[in-house]
Every structure is written in C-alpha cells, then in structure tokens.
C-alpha cells in the first residue's frame, strides 16, 4: 500500500441535471449518480494528462470498478447544478480507493461514495499491478 498525500485539493467536476437523468417526477434516478461519479473520475485522470483510451490502446490495461459503496443522503432534482468530487484515499499494487461526494450548488451533500477501481489486463480480464508512473503523483 502506497501512502497518499491527502492534503491535496479535491478534484471537482460540475454536472447539471437534465430530463434524461431523472425519473418521471423530475428526481434523479439512482443509476444516474453512478454515471456522474464515473465521469468525475475520468475527468480527474484527464486533468493529470491521462487518457484511458490511450492506456488501453498502448498497454491493454483499464481501470474497472471492483467495489462501490453508496450513501444516498438527499435527492437531486431536474435543473440542479451539482459538484462531484474525487479524492484518492489509498493506492494498492493493483487498485485505487476513491472517496467521492456529490454536492448541490448550495453546498448540501447529496451522495457519499467509496469506489475501488482495479487495474485489469483486458486481454486476460485479470488484475495486474498499476505500472509505475501511469498516473502522475500515485
């Protein structure tokens, strides 16, 4: 396990709620939150200069969600503006543990999540060690 500098600023990604994200009542459908969390982790990687498509193309590696825990605190609604946060909590040889939250623009926390993403050789669909230097700072 590699220690992580937790003093780093959280990465934040904005999301606006559209009809496609909601149920018939204008409340965000629970599965939509998973997309928001995934997009924020992807944009966090991009902010570090890492493109997942390039990693897969060059090395056959991908990060796949291994486990996830969600705590739905309050509902998001149609037209809400949200902020999705990403923070690395732990790096193991073959996985990264993220703490993520989703906040409404007024600062109210709507969802809290922990997500473990495993580095996988997509040809064999087996976990592999995260190559040194693959993600800057980890």
CB 64 within 8 A of CB 117: yes
Q: Is 121 helix (H, G, I), strand (E, B) or coil?
A: strand
Q: How far apart are CA 118 and CA 68, in angstroms?
A: 12
- pTM for this predicted structure: 0.91
Q: What is the CATH number of domain 11-127?
A: 3.10.129.10
Percent of the chain topping pLDDT 90: 91
pLDDT class of 6 with cuts at 50, 70, 90: very low
If you average pLDDT over residues 104-119, what whole number do you get?
A: 98
DSSP string, 97-115: EEEEEEEETTS-EEEEEEE
- pLDDT tens profile 26-77: 999 999 999 999 999 999 999 999 999 999 999 999 999 999 999 999 999 9
**What residue segments make up the domains of the chain, in order of their start?**
11-127
Judged against a pLDDT cut of 80, whether residue 5 lies above it is answered with no
User: Is 23 a known active-site residue?
Assistant: yes
Residue 10's pLDDT is: 87
Per-residue confidence (pLDDT) for residue 7, from 0 to 100: 42
Residue of 5, 21, 23, 80 marked catalytic: 23
Pairing of strands 95-104, 109-121: antiparallel
| Residue ranges in the chain assigned as alpha helix (H) | 30-47, 52-59
């Amino acid at each position: 396990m590699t220690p992580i500098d937790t003093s780093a600023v959280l990465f934040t990604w904005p999301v606006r709620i559209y009809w496609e994200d909601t149920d018939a009542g204008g409340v965000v459908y629970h599965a939509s939150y998973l997309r928001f969390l995934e997009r924020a982790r992807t944009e966090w990687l991009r902010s570090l200069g890492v493109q997942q498509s390039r990693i897969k193309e060059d090395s056959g590696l991908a990060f796949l969600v291994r486990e996830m825990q969600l705590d739905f605190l309050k509902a998001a609604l149609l037209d809400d503006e949200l902020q999705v946060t990403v923070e690395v909590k732990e790096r193991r040889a073959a996985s990264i543990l993220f703490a993520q939250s989703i906040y409404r623009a007024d600062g109210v926390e709507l969802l809290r999540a922990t997500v473990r993403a495993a580095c996988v050789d997509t040809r064999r669909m087996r976990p592999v060690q995260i190559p040194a230097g693959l993600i800057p700072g980890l």
